Amino acid sequence: MVGPEIFGLNGKLALVVGGGQGLGEAASRYLAEAGCSVAVLDLEIERAQAVAKALRDRGATAIALSADVTDDAQLTRAVAEAEAGLGGLDVVVSIVGASRFGGVLELSPEDWDAQHTLNLRYFFFLCQSAARSFVRRQVPGAIVGISTAGAYDSMPFRPAYGAAKAGLVHLVRSLAVELGEYGIRINAAAPGMTVTPRTAARMNSEANQGEVRKIPLQKLGTPDDIGKAVLFLASDLASHITGATIPVDGGSSVAPNYDLGASRAVSLRNRRAMPGGDPAA
């Protein structure tokens, strides 16, 4: 029987940035269940403490840290504290990021810069700090970031966010090439529409149901869906994967842009007209 050892993470030391809720909580939980000791870092220390306690209650080793990772000094300190608190680092996961509506006609320079700081700039310096730690300790570490399915599409009225997350995809590819000689892997997950505590009201609204019907798997994503993808990318199961950004979107990124409902109806009529009919229809 295959157990948690298949992930090759037992005894590994993981930092989850933004681990205090939603996607970060799920990532922290899955890494802990695979055998990692986890440093849960969040802007709000209370959130980090709650997740760390829940992990400890399940038998894991976990510590809580707090920092504003968009501040260079705090980011550097947080990585050092995680390394000191756990006794090293093998895995660094970054969940931090958010979008803000702002179309081309009203977006201010300050908003543009804030979106890039929150979604891209800090991620580069987090990767730099993590890579320096891995190289110094001579460990083949793994870094996992979060982009968005929209990085491969258009994001009208959120151009700053879309551009930053597309930049993250490019950054992952570039850093993977630079860091490969050290055995360091860097990848990302790209969620589609996902229900989190912050997005639940909008995602579950009646107005959003038409968008849900466009998803091939016909359902919204959950934090657990993203947590599982993070676990995979951090684990030995992905030991020969680097520079990749994997869509975790129910198939949204491969769905056509025409009306699937009408196409399904035509297909159904055609199947019923087949000789002998189609039992599935």
Handedness of CA 146, 147, 150, 156 (dihedral sign): positive
Cα–Cα nearest to 58, from 33, 38, 22, 21: 33
Q: What is the Cα 6 distance to its own chain's centre?
A: 21
CB burial string 125-145: b at 16+ within 10 A, e below: ebbebbbebbeeeebebbbbb
Count of residues for the chain?
Answer: 281
Assess contact for 28 and 60: CB atoms under 8 A: no
Q: What is the spatial distance between Cα 281 and Cα 278, in angstroms, rounded to a whole number? A: 5
Instruction: Name the catalytic one among 30, 122, 152, 161.
Output: 161
Active site residue 161: yes
Strands (DSSP E) along 45-119, which ranges?
A: 62-66, 91-94
Say if CB 127 and CB 76 are below 8 A apart.
no
Neighbours of 123 (CB within 10 A): 28
Which are the contacts of 215, defined by CB distance < 8 A and separation ≥ 6? Answer: 192, 193, 249, 250, 251, 252, 255
Name the residues annotated as catalytic: 161
